[in-house]
Amino acid sequence: MFDFTDRDLKEPHDIRIIGAPFDGTVSFRPGARFGPAAIRDASDGVETYSPFLDIDLEGVHYSDIGDLELPMGDVGAVLSIIREAVEECLADDVTPFLLGGEHLVSLPAIEAVFEKYPDLVVVQLDAHADQRDDYLGVKLSHACVMRRVSELIGDGNVRQLGIRSGTQREYELMRGFGTLSTFRDDDLDELVEWIGERPVYLTVDLDVFDPACFPGTGTPEPGGIDWWTFQRFIKVMQGCDIVGLDAVELAPQLDSSGCSSVLAAKVVREMLLILKG
């Protein structure tokens, strides 16, 4: 079994896990603030070995700083705290791995990583486009996070997989800039070719999974992927230069079975494993 809690930050490590328990801008059902703790709890029942990748987590050097203390009523302060934690990772020459929390927590992490890697590209797995200019007049919302990211790094430096919900304007933007892709084998090959040797930030909104296997999320969308599709994706990403990553939008209390938390923990395990080496 793998467990974050026994990983001492003082020990040498290549990857630093940071909990960002924030869901202050969610647009439907809250609860993602409990995601990091639920992933940690579920991880205790997940094997360290991935038969698909044929790698064991015991050989990966990672540490966990636990959850950041975030003031729920102040979005600006929350984003600043997250960014500072990621900047500390980068200053220590370790890869930041954020556990959300809602998807807005990705923004300050990407900002910090982009400052260090100006040729950064972002690969997003998600059910939702998150390309709104604002949500009910608010520009810092989980519904707008990829619009803010695109403005930062350039629309041509983003690829989005699994999207099945968005406004007409969002789809016009994504089609116009060619950001949309799929999990078909040819498209995955093209994705890796597009990335090339550039540094990658990988953001996985867990609602990319179908609600049939992942109901524990605030904004579920029918038509999502299954575990096997995710594993095919993660396999092709294995050789890419991933310099930052996150897994967000688990709302564990919305799935009384606990299966969503287990799936989220396995996603985190696979993401850790592709960083090995």
- Write the single-letter amino acid at 29: R
Do the annotations mark residue 205 as ligand-binding?
yes
SS (H, E, C) 220-270: CCCCCECHHHHHHHHHHCCCCEEEEEEEECCCHHHCCCCHHHHHHHHHHHH
Phi and psi of 262, rounded to 5°?
A: -65, -45
Residue pair 182/229 in contact (Cβ under 8 Å)? The answer is no
What does DSSP assign to residue 15?
Answer: E
Q: Name the residue among 156, 158, 148, 167 with its Cα closest to residue 109.
A: 148
Do the annotations mark residue 142 as ligand-binding?
no
Do the annotations mark residue 61 as ligand-binding?
no
Do the annotations mark residue 126 as ligand-binding?
yes
Instruction: Tell me how many degrees the CA angle 82-84-90 measures, rounded to the nearest 5.
Output: 105
Binding-site annotation: residue ranges: 103, 126, 128, 130, 205, 207
Question: Which residue numbers belong to the known binding site for Mn(2+)?
Answer: 103, 126, 128, 130, 205, 207
